[in-house]
Amino acid sequence: MLPFTRGRVILITGAAQGLGRATAKLLAPVGARLVLVDRDGAGARRAATELAVGDDAVGLEVNVLDWEQVQWMVQETVRRFGRLDGLVNTVGGSSGHGIRGARTIEELEIDDWDRTFELNVKSVFLCCRAAIPALRAGGGGRIVNTSSVAGRSQSQLGGPQYAAAKAAVVGFTRQLAFQLAAENITVNAVAPGPSLSERVSAIWDKRSEAVRQEILSRIPMRRLGEVDELAAAVCYFLSDLAAYTTGHTLDVNGGLYMD
Ligand SMILES: NC(=O)c1ccc[n+]([C@@H]2O[C@H](COP(=O)([O-])OP(=O)(O)OC[C@H]3O[C@@H](n4cnc5c(N)ncnc54)[C@H](O)[C@@H]3O)[C@@H](O)[C@H]2O)c1
């Protein structure tokens, strides 16, 4: 496993399932102290109980689109563990969570546009805004955001609203990295290709065999990603090995998009 200082306090949003939970699963055995946040409070608490060693993880029910709750989430982290060293923003997606997931501009409702930007971009802004003072207070830290191949190239499963929102995450990551570098806070992003989280597995299962084969034929590795493979990239940015890397978006997509 990558070098990682024991006892670091890492807050992960969207940690009840998918990429967030997979990231927690990699971090727990290397001694990180974890704050697992999700709107699904029972799921977050379950993840904390299943993954943690002793009292080193806590699950909190938080809606990351609510500024009051987001501020409380950081206060609660510092109250329980004394500090905050890393923030991992995984909340997002092209569908589910109240988003209809239109694929074309003709299908796209105004509400769908707004909700997609709230879930994928505003959530990242609010969590970073709340976390940065706590990272500063500890002498620096790490932020890892989640973009998508949709924001780097084009979306296989989503529409223009999702591609635009995930491109916004790349720009936000770069600008924040630039502005926080001198304070020893790195800001990076991971851009997954289609990967088999619970949410995407459900969408994938509903696609016809012909559509699945069409999507797979565009991926040089001819398979979807696993959430553990995405989580490994997140953990790299959190690890000591990535200390001099900031403002970067790392593509994890089986070769679907190459920069
Ligand atoms: N899985 C993929 O194929 C894929 C591909 C590219 C990018 N991504 C991105 O990776 C990230 C994780 O994707 P996933 O498939 O693991 O997601 P997921 O839907 O499986 O998990 C997201 C979690 O966020 C939680 N959540 C949703 N809204 C919330 C809110 N307002 N407050 C708090 N928690 C909330 C959900 O309850 C859920 O547990 C997303 O940003 C997604 O856009 C995923």
Number of domains comprising the chain: 1
C-alpha dist (Å) from residue 190 to 33, 59, 167, 240 = 22, 23, 12, 17
Domain membership flag for residue 49: yes
The whole domain housing 242 covers 9-252
Order of all β-strands in the sheet with 185-192: 57-61, 33-38, 9-13, 86-89, 141-146, 185-192, 249-252
Mutation to probe ligand 1, out of 25, 71, 97 (largest number of atoms < 8 A from CB): 97
- Average pLDDT of span 90-104: 85
Q: Does ligand 1 come within 6 angstroms of the Cβ of 19? A: yes
Mean pLDDT of 214-241: 96
- pLDDT exceeding 70 applies to what percent of the chain? 98
Tell me if 95 sits within 8 A of 119, measured CB to CB: no
Burial category of 107 from C-beta neighbours within 10 Å (exposed 0-12, middle 13-18, buried 19 and up): exposed
Domain-located, residue 98: yes
pLDDT of residue 158: 86
pLDDT given for residue 53 in this prediction: 72
Alpha carbons 36 and 59: distance in angstroms, whole number: 5
Average pLDDT of the segment spanning 219-223: 97
Please tell me the predicted confidence (pLDDT) of residue 96.
Answer: 78
Amino acid at 40: D
- Angle between helical axes of 160-180 and 123-137 (0-180°, round to 10): 20
Atom of ligand 1 nearest to the CA of 40: 37
Over residues 141-191, the pLDDT tens digits come to: 999 999 999 999 998 778 999 999 999 999 999 999 999 999 999 999 999
Mean pLDDT of 70-92: 98
Give the burial class of 68: count Cβ atoms within 10 A of its Cβ; 0-12 exposed, 13-18 middle, 19 or more buried.
Answer: exposed
pLDDT, tens digit, 9 for 90 and up, residues 40-56: 999 999 999 999 777 89
User: Quick check: CB of 40 below 6 Å from ligand 1?
Assistant: yes
Read off the pLDDT of each residue in 226-255 and give the average, rounded to a whole number.
97
More reliable by pLDDT, 181 or 101 = 181
Higher pLDDT, 224 or 203: 224
Domain annotation covers residue 257: no
Reported as a pLDDT band with limits 50, 70 and 90, residue 9 is very high
Q: What are 59's strand-pairing partners?
A: 36
Give strand ranges (E) for the chain: 9-13, 33-38, 57-61, 86-89, 141-146, 185-192, 249-252
Please indicate, yes or no, if residue 258 is contained in any of the structural domains.
Answer: no
For residue 156, tell me if it sits in a domain. yes
Is the pLDDT at 78 greater than 90, yes or no?
yes
91 lines ligand 1 (CB under 6 A): yes
Q: Is 257 in the active site?
A: no
* pLDDT recorded at residue 37: 98
Structure tokens at 226: 């696993």
Which protein residue's CA is at the shortest distance from atom 29 of ligand 1?
A: 39
Q: What is the pLDDT of residue 65?
A: 98
Q: pLDDT at position 3, please?
A: 66
- pTM (two decimals): 0.97
| Ligand 1 and 155: CB distance under 6 A | no
Mean of pLDDT values over 184-201: 96
Q: Which residue has the higher pLDDT, 130 or 51?
A: 130
Q: Mean pLDDT, the chain, as a whole number?
A: 94
Question: Is residue 136 very low, low, confident or very high in pLDDT (cuts 50, 70, 90)?
Answer: very high
Residue 182 lies in a domain: yes
Place of tokens 């696609």: 207
CATH number at residue 118: 3.40.50.720
User: Hey, whose CA ends up nearest to atom 21 of ligand 1?
Assistant: 18
On whether residue 1 sits in a domain, the answer given is: no
Average pLDDT score over residue span 198-219:
92
Instruction: Indicate whether 3 belongs to any domain.
Output: no
